[in-house]
Structure 1
């Protein structure tokens, strides 16, 4: 029995060795092994297996050691660079290379740092009184008063003399009495205007900001590279002119806090005299505010030369004394979330200060500030036509209390690249000289958007007005491009333009991811990070149930051929699409609109151009809907002209036509429209090549225009591209509806005149009627600011005439348009862009 088992084991072991192909020094197969020999062979095999494992372990450890000690390879994914909105390479090429070389080479944080956080000190006292210790270490600055310097300035003395003659003629009093009265008024104006900036008060407020801001703000973020840039600009010794876009009363507090905690001299801040209320007026004056009348000329048609001269002299002497300056180039806070058209009054004084040698140069710094939720509440009542409530002590206290108990998320501050005022002026003068040499008759420049210059047309030459307006538009354009994009902006934008009827959380996440990739690819300043689901939930909390509703819904699905059912619980998210909440939600959405507006213009122009084809069943069946590029271009430029008071589409030094053409070409790369290829015979190709050798360079522009007219695009009708077009088209529909209703109301002005308030109410009433009747589908069309901008457009088109009666604007139609046929033409021009396509 033992022999049988031994033989069987030998056969099995031999077969196993053959399969594993292990070469061993073994005896011939005919040798018979005992059980002891088999045991020894098994033990040897086991020991070898352990030795092999140990050797493999040592090899792996050696490899890991080499990996750890070796310099790692660069990652394949490009890291997020430090965001910076550069200044114009055409107008300020030298400034573009200024200050940034060393700053951007440093290792930067992607999303910035929170300026509300303070590192604990090293000593026990500094740890116990952290904020006090930090504030006491801030650099001390002097803020000299310029009262006597201003009163002794020759410019102001001349204004006093001129005003004295007016008083003598109007009031029939003696010259000595009129002079004393005028001089006393000049001193009174200056005392009510001037800032009394205090270094001690600034430090106290900085301590209060450290304590109070975290009560309602999660964080206040700025990029380290931008702060380094600001410090280097400060080290140049030139006056810094800070030009932020204006969204909230918190703007100037945040900027002053940012300057003080980074040991930079606080600027003097131009503020409206409506903020000169008890206690708070004194408080803001101590933080650097100097007060300006919202209406400089109390009587229409009569310029208050004394007030203008006092303000101009005060600003110029403050710059000469070494003060930095801050003012809001838009004038007031935006009520729609979009940047307002610039007002160039104070900027014109800054330019004058350089032109007359008061200052050697100045660094202009555009700034963009954005909030996840606006601290000031909302502007819904004003947009619905109700007058603005003036600030009072009681309203200020209640607003502060409501703010302190609220939750407003993140504040992000973006500083654009500083640029030299001197360089901008010299570039403009060079361009003007070239234009004058080429064609003296073209000395007159483009139309100036701003009608609010501190000077009148009788004082300032046209070239100077154009220069100031060009700088102002550069600032607003750069600031809007630099505007941080908050999570609330993206969520509101998607809900109003893609998911207006609601969507599930999963669908919203999918769309959010897609638009997030687009923004990051375009190098926009995306002010959020993390998982999309967490970002969206945070945004929904910040927006609140008044603007966005969330509801859990149970969906039952049939499974197993309808034999059983499966229930899923989903979260349905819907925007507030009814008045007045939708107006507030559109405020947050409009920040995103700036980044898509040109694409939306092209698609809207495409719809208007293809009205006869796009809903034609035969054309759709043949899949042959085409448009010539020059027709699309002209339509798009017309729409840009209609919306000229809503958006700044490009920098002043750029040609809008070129920018629109570039946008059309970029849109063709997405597949929405595809350029049709021309088929040429061999002889035609030869003749075209031969003709090129005789092309005259003087005909280059003509040849380019001829090529544009030949380019033809074919519209894509795939579901994906159709959905994208509808998304882009929806963005501008509320504005188009507003302008269309405004144009319709021109017919009601035939043979009559109305004051501005009554005319606005007429348009609002028309929009409400259309909303109730389902003709207009967007509640945010009911908005006062676009209505007033449409009036400016009609004035620009020489359709409307406006004159002042006291402080009231009176509108009436010009003679050529004071008839039904003419106003109908204006309506048809705008209503063509209201047309949409069938997507069912």
Structure 2
């Protein structure tokens, strides 16, 4: 599949030329492409970092002739030599010619021991040797010596780079990188900027792909923070020679490592030394578990202490057609590598490296404000408990996005510093997710999960793929596929085939595609569809707000054809009645309450909740679901003049503004559009958030069986078991059973004041707060969340 944009200006090879056993020949129109160039994605925030935006603007995404490049496609033109032998060893010659920046260890361990941070912890440790000499300190932190002495060996890096390229050539069809983004990175590197690459954790291959892409483009290979424990000593020794910072052998997870008194000061000192040496870093963050944010907090603390002048953050968006499994143990790894010998490569990877921006500018300028951040229970509890009809204004404070470990640091950061670190982590999660391209499997998975759960014919899928692709391009979202419509759909179905039932009738050339109603298939579709949900988050929030209003109207007895009061997913009986008028203020209030429940990464943190809720309602007007209905009055709403004749303006010092801020104080009303496609579109958008909302509903029912506090390590597995049991009883909605969704639900209920954390000697215990030990309050919480589920 090859995509030409208007005369071949950009040529993007997006899929291997192969066909599966199942084939059909339907004449469909090609996928539409809007404009002359692809959307420019990855620009830094105009509000938080305007100086960085203008600094790299001329060098970022402004060279359309570069286009995309497959780093696995290496031939003799990538070397300095030509000939028959060169064509057979061109990959080896290319790797040997790539620029490598060596990183000697020298006296790094001594310098790390001399830091005030490590000395304070050793002085407070009763087990530390008396006298406090350097030799005694070195002996105390000897268990961290392999971590501190992590280095980048040019010989090992070239050998591993060649092996990884050969391995990926057997795993992926291609690895596409946007060459337009490397111009700004090369300029920042030449200027001496310290680069820190931040990505959202999806697979253990994420960091390997980033290092390989930078290595092939002659940029400094970063030191990578590995969140996975690797016990094999042979594999650990190799990884530590190519810049991989591993966990201590005594810690099974990052949480266990953070509980060690010496771990945090040692790794913070290590980061300081690496940045002093001019090295780059690669950090992965997780929106569900919150892991990774502590590394960004350490870097910001070093800048605040003036140990490091400044760093440039580079969000990295990695999109997979299908995420392959990769094992970290040597035995499993060798068996997996052996299986590649008879396995055909499948799937595409698209990598976008976003525009670099200054971390110091982001937090020191005061543009990234956290003064309006408030606990979630202050924002929503009065509404949930029927003590107020309107939620409080302010931003939701996500406490679990930056795990707090009292045993790691001698001095606790201030409340404002913690909130600022959380805001930076949330901003980077949103930025990295925003620059991800939508792959063909992402698009098809969202259609099968949110629109065609019971299956659809091939022609219907082709029609919906063309429509959804056009909607994505209109929203300035890059897509990682191209070619004719049937080729795109056929290629996606070939990758998703293990999770599909394809029924081909002999007398019919239009086969039926049905998603398998199993846990593994549904979780796979849900993982693939998340990037589409992120793109349509405004419309999804607005649609759920409309569903909540219809739920309220049905409860008042206005219509008898609405769904019953249930979050279990019962099908709607009878015809849906849409001939109702929805008040703008009430609709916006419903959207505002829902956006407080969204996990991090979906909503831009620098935008106020009020502005986001208003934009969510406006988005439904733009896509034709809602129609504004003006109330008869002396002066129309569209009249900008007051009755007194004075023109009003919005305040110039207000940072959080949107197009909706220019509305009159008098509220207007909306009616739901009546075309035939509108109900399907409304339910399609509602389904995008239904899985996450259903997890919260099922978690509240799990609290009915929780009589005593449970250890945090046992709470989430038991919750996942309850979610799976509930889904098995209903034989559907398996997307609400993932461990990531359970983590996010637990974090939300902690912020909401439903669950409380109790720190004891045995660890952290989770229990129900006294307020929600009452069954009546848990029922109110259940009803509040279930109102956003249309079925």
State the TM-score, normalized to the length of structure 2: 0.82
Residue 571 to residue 185, structure 1, CA distance change in 2 (3 Å): same
Distance 2:165 2:650 in 1: 64
Matched, 1:549 2:501: yes
Structure number having the greater helix percentage: 1
Residue equivalent to 2:119: 158
Distance 1:498 1:509 in 2: 13
Matched, 1:396 2:356: no
Distance 2:493 2:396 in 1: 48
Residue 313 to residue 712, structure 1, CA distance change in 2 (3 Å): same
Structure scoring higher RCO (CA < 8 A, sep ≥ 6) equals 2
- 1:762 Cα shift? 5.3
Distance 1:648 1:274 in 2: 26
Query: Are the aligned partners of 2:289 and 2:744 in contact in 1 as well (CA < 8 Å)?
Result: no
Please, which of 773, 787, 791 is the counterpart of residue 746 of structure 2?
A: 791
Residue 157 to residue 539, structure 1, CA distance change in 2 (3 Å): closer
Please, which of 406, 409, 427 is the counterpart of residue 365 of structure 2?
A: 427
Residue 149 to residue 320, structure 1, CA distance change in 2 (3 Å): farther
Match of 1:570, SS state, is coil
**Cα shift readout 1:685-716 (whole Å, capped 9, x = no counterpart):** 99973435397988999x97994562211122
Match of 1:328, SS state, is strand
Q: Which moved more, 1:751-760 or 1:316-325?
A: 751-760
Query: Are the aligned partners of 1:193 and 1:292 in contact in 2 as well (CA < 8 Å)?
Result: no
Distance 2:410 2:119 in 1: 19
In terms of Rg, which structure is larger?
Answer: 1
Residue equivalent to 1:754: 710
Residue equivalent to 1:735: 692
Query: Are the aligned partners of 2:117 and 2:265 in contact in 1 as well (CA < 8 Å)?
Result: yes
- 1:822 Cα shift? 2.1
- 1:625 Cα shift? 0.3
Match of 1:460, SS state, is coil
Match of 2:262, SS state, is helix
Residue 793 to residue 212, structure 1, CA distance change in 2 (3 Å): closer
Residue equivalent to 1:50: none
Within 5 A, what are the aligned runs for 1:310-389? 310-330=266-286, 341=290, 343-376=292-325
- 1:623 Cα shift? 6.2
Within 5 A, what are the aligned runs for 1:375-774? 375-376=324-325, 391-402=328-339, 405=343, 407-428=345-366, 446=397, 448-452=399-403, 458-544=411-497, 546-554=498-506, 567-613=507-553, 616=559, 624-643=579-598, 646-681=599-634, 689-693=642-646, 707=664, 710-749=667-706, 752-756=708-712, 759-760=715-716, 763-764=719-720, 766-768=722-724, 770-774=726-730
Query: Are the aligned partners of 2:288 and 2:743 in contact in 1 as well (CA < 8 Å)?
Result: no
- 1:538 Cα shift? 1.0
Residue 181 to residue 499, structure 1, CA distance change in 2 (3 Å): same
**Cα shift readout 1:771-816 (whole Å, capped 9, x = no counterpart):** 4554x74122222322232222222122222224555542222222
Query: Are the aligned partners of 1:163 and 1:306 in contact in 2 as well (CA < 8 Å)?
Result: no
Query: Are the aligned partners of 2:290 and 2:401 in contact in 1 as well (CA < 8 Å)?
Result: yes
Distance 1:822 1:457 in 2: 39
Residue equivalent to 2:91: 131
- 1:513 Cα shift? 0.5
Distance 1:762 1:111 in 2: 45
Query: Are the aligned partners of 2:47 and 2:367 in contact in 1 as well (CA < 8 Å)?
Result: no
Distance 1:278 1:216 in 2: 26
- 1:194 Cα shift? 3.3
Distance 1:528 1:412 in 2: 10
**Cα shift readout 1:218-273 (whole Å, capped 9, x = no counterpart):** 11111110122222221111211111222222222222111222111211111136
Query: Are the aligned partners of 2:222 and 2:282 in contact in 1 as well (CA < 8 Å)?
Result: yes
**Cα shift readout 1:629-664 (whole Å, capped 9, x = no counterpart):** 121122122222223xx3433322211220221121
Within 5 A, what are the aligned runs for 1:73-112? 78-81=35-38, 83-112=40-69
Matched residues, number: 711
Distance 2:239 2:518 in 1: 38
Match of 1:272, SS state, is coil
Distance 1:724 1:649 in 2: 20
- 1:669 Cα shift? 2.2
Matched, 1:802 2:754: no
Distance 2:100 2:546 in 1: 59
Distance 2:602 2:615 in 1: 13
Residue 631 to residue 119, structure 1, CA distance change in 2 (3 Å): farther
Distance 1:609 1:722 in 2: 15
Match of 2:642, SS state, is helix
Residue 395 to residue 434, structure 1, CA distance change in 2 (3 Å): closer
Q: Which moved more, 1:681-690 or 1:421-430?
A: 681-690
Match of 1:142, SS state, is coil
State the TM-score, normalized to the length of structure 1: 0.77
Match of 1:746, SS state, is helix
Distance 2:67 2:109 in 1: 48
Query: Are the aligned partners of 2:539 and 2:620 in contact in 1 as well (CA < 8 Å)?
Result: yes
Query: Are the aligned partners of 1:160 and 1:183 in contact in 2 as well (CA < 8 Å)?
Result: no
Query: Are the aligned partners of 1:576 and 1:585 in contact in 2 as well (CA < 8 Å)?
Result: no
Distance 1:668 1:431 in 2: 30
Query: Are the aligned partners of 2:291 and 2:402 in contact in 1 as well (CA < 8 Å)?
Result: no
